[in-house]
Amino acid sequence: MKLFTLRAVGIALLMFACVLFGMQQANGGILKLKGYQDQNFNSALSISNEQGGLEASILGADVTSHDLQKKKEQMEEMKTFNLLSGIGKGVADGVSSLAQKGVDLVGSVMNKDKDTGEQQ
């Protein structure tokens, strides 16, 4: 039994090392495929803490809170209605209401049982 466990753990460690080696080789292959060295290309999202505030960059483009606020205002101006979102909210409200009624029903039944049990 000890020999089997030792072999199984050894095989698992060997497989783990092979996966790590393969990931490193794939990363090197991707960098070679790119054909040039660009430090911004390595990360899709970068967040830095500069000048007392956080700065984010997505795919090399700087993102500020003003951009997000502008997009939010544009979405509010469009006043679009997403049918699936409306259906999802309705279903969620219905399930929530149904669950609340079920909990209230079980609670009232338990209170009645407790009250009748104390009187006997």
- Which single residue is written with the structure tokens 């090392």? 17
The residue ranges of the chain whose pLDDT is under 70 are 35-46, 52, 58-60, 64-65, 79-81, 117-120
What is the model's pTM?
0.32
Question: For residue 26, how many C-alpha atoms fall within 13 Å in the half-sphere facing its CB?
Answer: 6
Give residue 92's pLDDT.
94
One-letter amino acid of 46:
S
Burial 41-74 (b: 16+ CB within 10 A, else e): eeeeeeeeeeeeeeeeeeeeeeeeeeeeeeeeee
pLDDT in tens, 56-81: 776 667 776 677 778 777 777 776 66
Give residue 42's pLDDT.
54
The alpha helices in the chain, defined as continuous H runs, are: 2-34, 65-78, 83-119
Give residue 95's pLDDT.
95
Give residue 65's pLDDT.
67
Sheet holding 53-58, edge to edge: 45-50, 53-58, 61-63
Give residue 6's pLDDT.
95
One-letter amino acid of 114:
K
Give residue 87's pLDDT.
87
Give residue 70's pLDDT.
81
Give residue 44's pLDDT.
62
Q: Which of 42, 35, 37 is nearest to 59 (CA)?
A: 42
Give residue 120's pLDDT.
52
